[in-house]
A and B are shown apart, each in its own frame.
Chain A
Amino acid sequence: METDVTDDQRALLEVSSRFMTDTCPLVAVREGAWRDVGFAATYRRQAAELGWFSMLVPEALGGGNVSGYGVLDAALVAYRRGRALQPGSFVGTNVVAYAIAEEGSEWARTTVLPALLSGEAPASWAVDAPGYRLDAGVDARVLDDGGVVLTGTKRAVQDVEEASWLLVTCSTGSGATQLLIRADSPGVTITELGTLDLSRRYFEVTFDGAKVDAAAVVGTPGAGDDLITRQLAIATTLVAAEMVGAMDQDFATTVQYAKDRIAFGRPIGSFQGIKHQLADTSLALEMSKAITVAAARAVDHDDFGPSAASMAKAFVGEAGVDLVQTCFQVYGGIGYTWEHDQHLYLRRITTDAGLFGDANWHREHLCQLAGI
């Protein structure tokens, strides 16, 4: 994953990893310290100082990145985050910042964007929808003054707090519209959901006649598909990178366990029954790293980004779930205990596999992008 990193990227990754270890080590993840709003705010501001939320925004708008390739930089940070199962809306905030920088109004660029870049406010992309269309679930009625009224529900929105900015992907009937709204606005209800993942929170967000001004619209009402496709490519690439990080860490500790655990008079990793499963898993992990880096480069460079990102999400999504299942099996009973960390990875990776479209969704998306 980090074979070709530049010195600047290396420095970013080292300081980022140090920050994670100091601020939110695995024990803090496990105990849920990050659920506290005060803890989250401090974490976010410090992360912002490292440039975590600026990488997909041009310098002219207050952003910037170390290599000139923002998605690659962000993917490398995401990989380190995944290794340490870091909490917080990293993917969401970056995607929303990107969307505002691309097609946000003057108000969004001067008011919302600086708050995201500085870590003052978090952001989440409210996009999850049943079926193929991402604008499903919430209907947007455009008023004569350009304002929009929202009705409907988005589920599995990640890490929302009252101060969060939500980028809502909704339907005007004739096409997709995206707009910004604060989670504590009148007509917006957020309800925390029970989750598989223990390292992040998920919410159902209900809109009951919530109204925003025209300036809150990102892009042209009813014509959001192109931007949504690009946002999705970024979100899936970064989620894949977080997954690969978590996979790498879970796999490394499992291999170590296979060397340490003795049964029938020798380390269990010497049995081909275990060794061959780990070798197959290692192959899938290396392919996952390779396809994720390829996707990040493609999203940075050219029009092939959305296809490459969907392939990465589809491949890593399945490889990730396979990996945690194999690791579970190698650990045996110990992996079934709450005390062991294995289930934290199992939960996180399996959840990531379903975020922003599962493997089946992305394979269909790949076909549609190819025009068949």
Chain B
Amino acid sequence: MTETFATIDVNTFRAQAREWIRANLEPRSANQNDDHHDLTTEDISVARRLQRKLFDAGFAGITYPAAYGGRDLTAAHEQAFNEEAADFLTPNFGAAGIVTFGPIGRSLIAHATPEFLRRRMPRLLSGEELWCQFYSEPEAGSDLAGVRTRATRDGDQWILNGSKIWSSGAHLADWAMCLARTDWDVPKHRGLTWFALPTDTKGVTVRQIKQINGNAEFCEEFLDDVVVTDADLIGEVNRGWTVTQTMLVHERATAEHGRLVIEPRDLAPDLVALARRVGRLTDPLVRQAIARAHTNDFAQFHLGRAMADRLRAQAEPDHAVAAYPKLAVGTYKPVRARLALEIGGSATIAFDDGSAIARQPMLDYLECRVQSIAAGTNEMQRNGIGERILGLPREPSFDTTKPFNDVLRQSREWSGKVN
């Protein structure tokens, strides 16, 4: 059926999309927003049926290769579809969808074998198979190349043992991309390999993690003698860091989600409403807090725009500048959350359950460190800005040239002395 989808210009595509969307999708009502929190398996079934509908009509995987179920069209086509579909109900897979159609899909296209892609990609794009990442570990976050999940060769198969954490939507996913160490006697970046495996494989235990806000979007996994075959290798053995770099680029693009798209002109409406509700709108300190939060929002918005302009103006885009908006969110979200609590005063620490206006600051406060930690901590962004933009020299490294086994052993005897 892919042959019937010839390349078409954006406007024609937009017109086709509009016609199809109006005939086939339900309008989104005001109270139906894409809530990424705590989707049920029921929600996922609904999303799968909807995704199948898009796929059959040629509106799924718009920018993916036609050979694997996509359309071979451009980001502009996808943007046109998204704009046309903005007021309609589209498949909501929550975080699992963002991971599946973003970092996972892109990394698979770049590094999996054609045979693997023919088998799995159409199912991925049609929503039949959702994916997740078995990526960070309890002892490997910022230092991702230090993962300790072990993959051991056993005849013509691999045996995986270890544990993973912070896997968005893993409890809803069908497949996982798993990063494991296949060689312990080489430096850390050179002994890594990626594997694909179904999440219901024998030996895989997926457990949801309850967050401080009461939701459970992430999971932890335990891998006990999990068997994977060569057919499900992604990329080459011991060359996994290359795949990781592809994934990190697309992760960062994902982290851009939730950035303000419209210039914030109205003085922080949520904070003004909060101050009004608690009767403190004339308090000079409260007014300072409102104006400070809004000014930071405004500066952040224009920083994002300036960085996008800078990337566009460069012949060879230097993606290191993406660290600026990331660090800005990670820096100013916590500031804003604290300002809201100061404005709300006691009303935001003890409140009627029905009072969303007073309750929201508490939820924002609990959430405000997500972006200063997830997808690259503030400290990693500061290293990126310091080294790649300002050109400051790196810290001395103790682990990039030694065999990983030695690194682990020596780190336990860390004395601060360098020989």
Determine the distance from Cα of A274 to Cα of B387 in the docked complex, in whole angstroms.
12
The residue on B at minimum CB distance from A269 is B392
Task: Tell me, in angstroms, the Cα distance from A288 to B287 when the chains sit together.
Answer: 22
A278 touches B393 (CB 8 A): no
Is A3's CB under 8 angstroms from B390's CB?
no
**Residue in B303, B313, B389 whose beta carbon sits within 8 Å of that of A287 in the complex:** B303
Contact residues of A between 83 and 98, Cβ < 8 Å to B: none
Whether B393 and A270, one on each chain, are in contact in the complex, defined by CB atoms closer than 8 angstroms, is: yes
Contacting B at CB under 8 A, from A262-296, are 266-267, 269-272, 274-276, 278-280, 282-283, 286-291, 293-294
Q: Does A75 contact B (CB under 8 A)?
A: no
Q: Tell me how far the C-beta of B348 lies from the nearest C-beta in chain A, rounded to whole angstroms.
A: 19
B379 within 8 Å of A (CB atoms) = yes
Is B290 part of the binding interface, using a Cβ–Cβ cutoff of 8 Å? yes
Contact A283 B383 (CB under 8 A): no
From A258, A307, A311, B299 is in contact (CB under 8 Å) with A311
Judge whether A278 and B392 touch: CB under 8 Å: yes
A contact residues around B80 at 8 Å (CB): none
Q: Which residues of B sit under 8 angstroms from A363, Cβ to Cβ?
A: 287-288, 291-292, 295
Given A287-B299, A307-B265: A272 and B306 interface contact (C-beta under 8 Å):
no
Q: Check B393–A269 contact: CB distance below 8 A.
A: yes
User: Which residue in chain B gives the minimum CB-CB distance to A316?
Assistant: B299
- A250-266: CB near B (< 8 Å → 1, else 0) gives 00000100110000001
B363 CB to nearest chain A CB (Å): 24
**Within 8 Å of chain B (Cβ to Cβ): is A34?**
no
SS class, residues of chain A in contact with chain B: helix
Q: Mark B265-309, 1 if CB is under 8 A from A, else 0.
A: 111000010000000010010011011101110111011011101
Q: Which of A335-372 contact B (CB under 8 A)?
A: 360, 362-364, 366-367, 370, 372
| B302 engages A272 (CB within 8 Å) | no
Q: With an 8 A cutoff between CB atoms, is A39 at the interface? A: no
Residue of B nearest to A370 (CB): B267
> Could you say which residues of chain A place their CB within 8 Å of the CB of B324?
282-283, 286
| A259-B392, A275-B392, A283-B327 known; A291-B284 Cβ under 8 A | no
Main secondary structure of the interface of B (DSSP, over half): helix
B259 to chain A, nearest CB (A): 14
The minimal Cβ–Cβ distance linking B283 to chain A, given in whole angstroms, is 11
* Contact across chains for A3 and B393 when beta carbons are under 8 A apart: no
Quick check: is A315 within 8 A (CB to CB) of the other chain?
yes
Q: Nearest Cβ in chain B — how far from A17, in angstroms?
A: 21
Q: Which of B272, B306, B310, B382 contacts A372 (CB 8 A)?
A: B272
Which of A255, A267, A286, A314 is in CB contact (< 8 Å) with B291? A314
A290 near B302 with CB under 8 A, answer: yes
Bound complex: CA A261 to CA B393 (Å)? 12
Which A residues lie within 8 Å of B394 (CB)? 270
Given contacts A269-B393, A370-B267, contact A290 B291 (CB under 8 A): no
Task: Check B294–A311 contact: CB distance below 8 A.
Answer: yes
Closest B residue to A319 using CB positions: B299
Cross-chain contact of A3 among B267, B272, B291, B309 (Cβ < 8 A)? B309
CB within 8 Å for A366 and B385 given contacts A287-B303, A290-B306: no
Residue of A nearest to B284 (CB): A364
B-chain residues with CB within 8 Å of residue A271 when the two chains form the complex:
395
- Chain B positions 120 through 156: 1 when the CB is less than 8 Å from some CB of chain A, otherwise 0: 0000000000000000000000000000000000000
* Chain B residues with CB below 8 A from A287, complex form: 299-300, 302-303, 328
* Contact pick for B295, options A270, A311, A372, CB 8 Å: A311
Pick the residue among B267, B305, B386 that contacts A275 (CB under 8 A): B386
Contacts of A275 in B (CB 8 A): 382-383, 386-387, 392
Q: Which of A269, A271, A275 has the most CB of B within 10 A?
A: A275
A4 at the binding interface (Cβ < 8 Å):
yes
Query: What residues of A have a CB within 8 angstroms of the CB of B309 in the complex?
Result: 3-4
Known contacts A3-B310, A311-B294, A315-B299; A282/B385 CB under 8 A: yes
B279: shortest Cβ distance to chain A, in Å? 13
Q: Are A272 and B267 in contact (CB under 8 A)?
A: no
Total A-B Cβ pairs within 8 A? 133
Tell me the smallest distance from the CB of A103 to a CB of chain B, in Å.
27
Shortest CB-to-CB span from B372 to chain A, Å, is 12
Write out the residue numbers on chain B whose beta carbons fall within 8 Å of the beta carbon of A258.
392
Partner of A255, one of B272, B287, B390: B390
Expressed in whole angstroms, the Cα–Cα distance for A366 and B302 within the complex equals 18
Interface residues on B, range: 35 or more
Measured between alpha carbons, how far is A103 from B295 in the docked complex, in Å?
31
Asked whether any CB of chain A lies closer than 8 Å to the CB of B391, the reply is yes
Known: A270-B395, A271-B395. A279 touches B267 (CB 8 A): no
Known: A269-B393, A270-B393, A283-B327. A360 touches B265 (CB 8 A): no
A304 at the interface (CB under 8 A from B): yes
Nearest CB in chain A: distance from B273 CB, A = 11
**Are A279 and B299 within 8 A (Cβ)?**
no
- Could you tell me the distance between the alpha carbons of A370 and B394 in the complex, rounded to whole angstroms? 46
- A259 surroundings in chain B (CB, below 8 A): 391-393
Query: Which of chain B's residues 383-408 have a Cβ closer than 8 Å to chain A?
Result: 383, 385-387, 389-396
Q: How far is the CB of B151 from chain A (nearest CB, A)?
A: 33
Is there a chain B Cβ closer than 8 Å to A212's Cβ? Answer: no
Q: Which residues of B contact A304 (CB under 8 A)?
A: 265
Q: Is there contact, CB below 8 Å, between B295 and A314?
A: yes
**CB-nearest residue of chain B relative to A1?**
B306
**For B267, what are the chain A residues with a Cβ–Cβ distance below 8 Å?**
307, 366-367, 370, 372
Question: A363-B288, A364-B291 are known contacts. Are A280 and B382 too (CB-CB below 8 A)?
Answer: yes
B331 within 8 A of A: yes
Contact of A291 among B302, B327, B381 (CB under 8 A): B302
B298 lies within 8 A of A267 (CB): no
Q: Is the CB of B291 within 8 A of A276?
A: no
Least CB distance from A369 to B in Å reads 8
B399 CB to nearest chain A CB (Å): 16
Known: A3-B306, A271-B395, A364-B287. A279 touches B385 (CB 8 A): yes
- Assuming the contacts A3-B313, A287-B300, A287-B328, asked whether A367 and B306 have C-beta atoms less than 8 A apart, the reply is no
Closest to A276 in B: B382
Contact of A286 with B381 at beta-carbon distance under 8 Å, contacts A272-B395, A291-B298, A315-B295 already known: no
Question: Which chain A positions have C-beta within 8 A of B300?
Answer: 287
CB of A289 within 8 A of CB of B392, answer: no
A80–B306 CA distance with the chains assembled, in angstroms? 19
CA distance A272 to B296 in the complex (A): 25
Residue of A270, A271, A272, A287 with most partner-chain B CB within 10 A: A287
Which residues of chain A are near B284, meaning CB under 8 Å?
364
A24 within 8 A of B: no
Asked whether A372 lies within 8 Å of B287 as measured between CB atoms, the reply is yes
Q: Which chain B positions have C-beta within 8 A of A364?
A: 284, 287-288, 291
5 contacts between A and B (CB under 8 A): A3-B310, A269-B393, A275-B392, A283-B385, A291-B302
The 8 closest A-B pairs by CB, nearest first: A363-B291, A279-B382, A275-B386, A269-B392, A370-B267, A290-B302, A270-B393, A290-B306
Given contacts A270-B393, A366-B267, 9 further A-B contacts (CB under 8 A): A259-B392, A269-B390, A279-B383, A289-B306, A290-B302, A293-B306, A315-B298, A364-B284, A372-B287
